[in-house]
Chains A and B, each alone.
Chain A
């Protein structure tokens, strides 16, 4: 990953630019091994374990998307539940017409992406706090709109058809693989998107929007792309969620349009470390640990999560991965660059 600049003129004295302070070529291999191990899990563990991991995949996917939005795009959305819901409902409607939910899942994600285009047009001129509440209002409006249609369950939701053909073991394995595939795709998409020109554009906007704009960076276009990708990702997560729950419920008890999803994805990102690829992964792990240990205490895990997120925002704003990065200088999934000053470039 070493990018040598005009180093040939003064051998040994030129600055070097690398993706990370430490060489992390091995993370690709480790990531691959982890994915393979996860993919093989349904053959070795009970369905109870994979069901817990299903939840983790949903949160990981959502967290990746929210991190892309808020951490790189500067778009603090509180309305991502709109896309969760749209993804799930497109899947439901397709399933009612005989399309298998597992095929409906990617189609639902695309549907959420299509819906994101007009919604982006509505909110694109708003910034920060106003953007946050406006997305929330939009999500509520989308929910109310969908609840008007009694044929797709109105305000109470419907069971997801097309899943009864699978045996229970096979269904839980398929659900698990769908969740794994979606979250791996989400991570990979965000990673490669940020390593591309778009990532560079977003970094420029984040550092100084006015300067970026005056240098010809298409700020609106880059943000719109981020919004679109996040909508597709959240739509896919909504589909996985609906398959897991075997139903599509709009609001009550973990419904697809509940703002609780946005709270969970945002808190996972903040705790793990916003603006890093590793943050959402770490945040999801912490989220799952909290949720599993506190789940018998009802809503306490959400309260704890909120308090931890507030504390992290105030005292360690780069999150837990930020602390790791500060002390070890490690980026497992480097998307930026590290500049080695000329005097230190001699070191191997």
Chain B
């Protein structure tokens, strides 16, 4: 029964990882930008949400849409300024710029908010409660809620990219930038929109992370970026649902690892990542092999 419990909890944890991975996958898929500041930006999202609560005294749930709007604005501005400038200078430049942003953000947060951990006060007893499935499998409302949010975000992204006008433009620019621009698409603006959406999901991921436990400035890389990346690689590049599968594989591996020995939790996740990297570098869901 303990194993069944691990698998179910692992699947729910996978939802959180898929949420982490969304923004990373989106930016890479559309702009070929590997955003090394991804994890730190998620932590920024968590700080923004707590900041909004502290300043405006709104209910916790209302702080999320405000945070999403703020993060989207940050995404648009960062894309139109720094990231776009780096994009035109090649891959090394985007890596250095995003890595630089990562270091600046992490140390900046540490400077202004100290290195102490904090948590997002939800003031909601529902989120800390759980119901039980059968007799021995407790399911927390929070992990379940995060999983559902992750699925909703993935569905919304898929719908947006395949059906909406902007989604079509984003895909056009991702496929062939010059041709899209010749047809009258403002590629920079489209990239900005894509970055805004990616950053909104990144902020959401940060809030989910902050609600699941505690967060501190140094969590961005070790707890978010690397897991997001592992989910993307396990699931297969460029596939949104593959990312969810990758997150679930990671989550299950971690909980089973923890069942064997509590100190193997994170290590088990990395081992499964390496195994996939060796045996199936194109990821679990990829249809054609990546060169």
Residues from chain B with Cβ under 8 Å of A132 in the complex? 34, 36, 95, 99
Q: Are B93 and A298 within 8 A (Cβ)? A: no
Chain A residue with the shortest CB-CB distance to B107: A299
Q: Are A141 and B111 within 8 A (Cβ)? A: no
Q: What 8 pairs between A and B have smallest CB-CB spacing?
A: A129-B34, A141-B270, A299-B107, A306-B104, A310-B100, A306-B103, A306-B100, A133-B229
B59 an interface residue at 8 Å Cβ cutoff? no
A interface residues, tally (CB under 8 Å): 40
A: residues with CB less than 8 A from B are: 70, 76, 78, 122, 125-126, 128-130, 132-134, 136-138, 140-141, 144-145, 148, 259-260, 263, 266-267, 270, 274, 298-300, 302-303, 305-307, 309-310, 313-314, 317
Residues from chain B with Cβ under 8 Å of A317 in the complex? 89, 93
Q: How far is the CA of A141 from the CA of B266 in the complex (A)?
A: 8
B76 an interface residue at 8 Å Cβ cutoff? no
Give chain A nearest CB distance to B257 CB in angstroms.
11
Residue in B28, B86, B221 whose beta carbon sits within 8 Å of that of A129 in the complex: B28
Q: How far is the CA of A302 from the CA of B102 in the complex (A)?
A: 11
Residues from chain B with Cβ under 8 Å of A299 in the complex? 107, 110-111
Residues from chain A with Cβ under 8 Å of B101 in the complex? 306, 310
Residues from chain A with Cβ under 8 Å of B274 in the complex? 122, 138, 141
Q: Are A70 and B92 within 8 A (Cβ)? A: yes
Residue in B91, B110, B267, B278 whose beta carbon sits within 8 Å of that of A128 in the complex: B91
Residues from chain B with Cβ under 8 Å of A306 in the complex? 100-101, 103-104, 107
Q: Are A314 and B267 within 8 A (Cβ)? A: no
Give chain A nearest CB distance to B111 CB in angstroms.
6
13 intermolecular pairs with C-beta atoms under 8 Å apart: A128-B92, A130-B233, A132-B36, A133-B229, A137-B229, A148-B263, A148-B267, A266-B96, A299-B107, A300-B107, A314-B82, A314-B93, A314-B97
Give chain A nearest CB distance to B28 CB in angstroms.
7
Q: Are A303 and B108 within 8 A (Cβ)? A: yes
B226 an interface residue at 8 Å Cβ cutoff? yes
Q: Mark B229-243, 1 if CB is under 8 A from A, else 0.
A: 110010000000000
Q: Are A259 and B111 within 8 A (Cβ)? A: no
Q: How far is the CA of A253 from the CA of B36 in the complex (A)?
A: 22
Residues from chain A with Cβ under 8 Å of B226 in the complex? 133, 136-137, 140
Q: Are A129 and B33 within 8 A (Cβ)? A: yes
Which of A78, A136, A270, A306 lies at the interface centre, i.e. has the most chain B CB atoms within 10 A of its CB? A306
Q: Label chain A's interface by main secondary structure.
A: helix
Chain B residue with the shortest CB-CB distance to A137: B226
Give chain B nearest CB distance to A88 CB in angstroms.
20
Q: Are B100 and A313 within 8 A (Cβ)? A: yes
B277 an interface residue at 8 Å Cβ cutoff? yes
Chain B residue with the shortest CB-CB distance to A119: B274
Q: Are B277 and A313 within 8 A (Cβ)? A: no
B10 an interface residue at 8 Å Cβ cutoff? no
Q: Are A270 and B33 within 8 A (Cβ)? A: no
Q: Are B107 and A267 within 8 A (Cβ)? A: no
Chain B residue with the shortest CB-CB distance to A309: B100
Besides the known contacts A133-B34, A299-B110, A314-B82, 5 further A-B residue pairs in the complex with CB atoms under 8 A apart: A130-B34, A130-B233, A137-B270, A300-B111, A314-B85
Q: How far is the CA of A133 from the CA of B278 in the complex (A)?
A: 16
Q: How far is the CA of A130 from the CA of B283 in the complex (A)?
A: 13
With A128-B91, A140-B270, A148-B263 as contacts: A310 and B108 at CB distance below 8 Å: no
Q: How far is the CA of A144 from the CA of B110 in the complex (A)?
A: 24
B77 an interface residue at 8 Å Cβ cutoff? no
Chain B residue with the shortest CB-CB distance to A274: B92
Q: Are A303 and B270 within 8 A (Cβ)? A: no
With A132-B34, A263-B99, A309-B100 as contacts: A122 and B91 at CB distance below 8 Å: no
Residue in A70, A136, A303, A307 whose beta carbon sits within 8 Å of that of B221 in the complex: A136
Residues from chain A with Cβ under 8 Å of B107 in the complex? 299-300, 302-303, 306
Give chain B nearest CB distance to A270 CB in angstroms.
6
B206 an interface residue at 8 Å Cβ cutoff? no
Q: How far is the CA of A134 from the CA of B89 in the complex (A)?
A: 23
Residue in B89, B91, B111, B277 whose beta carbon sits within 8 Å of that of A314 in the complex: B89
Residues from chain A with Cβ under 8 Å of B108 in the complex? 303
